[in-house]
Structure 1
Amino acid sequence: MEIPQLVAKFIETQNTYDSEAYTECFTETATVHDEGKVHTGKEEIRAWIEDANERYRSVMKPLQYDESGSNGMLTAEVSGTFPGSPIVLKFHLGLKDGFIESLNVTG
């Protein structure tokens, strides 16, 4: 499976709980949709990932990655301190100029 550098960094920074480096994967105006909430801009995204890291201590194991145009789809097994762990999630990525412009996490 071939994973672009940006997506590899996204996975690595999640798995090492480096919320600062994780946030740097996103554009200034990026949006994240997760658990029924929307987080817009780097400040909100950093707060969201810091909270998620603290609550869930989740790590991703990539299973599949597909990209078409400016859209990427990462399927990963996610394990952590949450009920039902591990689970398989899909990370729908909107890509722009070498960054993530949008992220939608689905089951």
Structure 2
Amino acid sequence: MNLPKIITDLVNAQNSFDSIAYANCFSETAVVFDEGKTHNGRTEIHHWIEESNEKYRSVMIPLEYTENGTSGILSAECSGTFPGSPIILKFHFDIADGLIQQLKVTE
């Protein structure tokens, strides 16, 4: 599966629980929508993923990636210490200048 480098970097950061490397995959003004909450900017994204890593210890196995221009959808099996694990989630990305501008996580 051919993933954009920034998505590969994101998956690797997630799977090693590296919240700094994860946050650095996003632009300074990026927005993340997950679990009914919005996280604005790299600093908030860093705090969100750091808390999520501590709480859920989630790892991702990419299953499928589709791309349309600067948008892409990654389907990944996510497992960790959360109810219903493992689960397949969809990660909807908008990418510009080699960084993630927006991420929305859905089931």
* Mapping of residues 17-96 of structure 1, within 5 Å: 17-96=17-96
Q: TM-score, normalised by structure 1?
A: 0.99
The list of structure 1 runs, each at least 4 consecutive aligned residues, that deviate by more than 3 angstroms after superposition, is none
For residues 54 and 18 of structure 1, the distance between their equivalents in structure 2, rounded to whole angstroms, comes to 11
Residue 5 (structure 1) shift: 1.0
For residues 28 and 5 of structure 2, the distance between their equivalents in structure 1, rounded to whole angstroms, comes to 19
For residues 90 and 41 of structure 2, the distance between their equivalents in structure 1, rounded to whole angstroms, comes to 21
* Mapping of residues 3-14 of structure 1, within 5 Å: 3-14=3-14
For residues 81 and 15 of structure 2, the distance between their equivalents in structure 1, rounded to whole angstroms, comes to 13
Residue 2 (structure 1) shift: 1.0
Residue 81 (structure 1) shift: 0.1
Can you list the C-alpha shifts for 1:13-60, whole angstroms capped at 9, x where unaligned? 000000001111000000000000000001100000000000000000
Which AA in structure 2 matches 1:58? Answer: S
Residue 8 (structure 1) shift: 0.4
Which AA in structure 1 matches 2:29? Answer: T
Query: Structure 2: which 5+ runs fail to align?
Result: none
Q: Identity over aligned residues, as a percent? A: 56
Query: Structure 1: which 5+ runs fail to align?
Result: none
For residues 3 and 99 of structure 1, the distance between their equivalents in structure 2, rounded to whole angstroms, comes to 13
Aligned length: 107
For residues 101 and 2 of structure 1, the distance between their equivalents in structure 2, rounded to whole angstroms, comes to 20
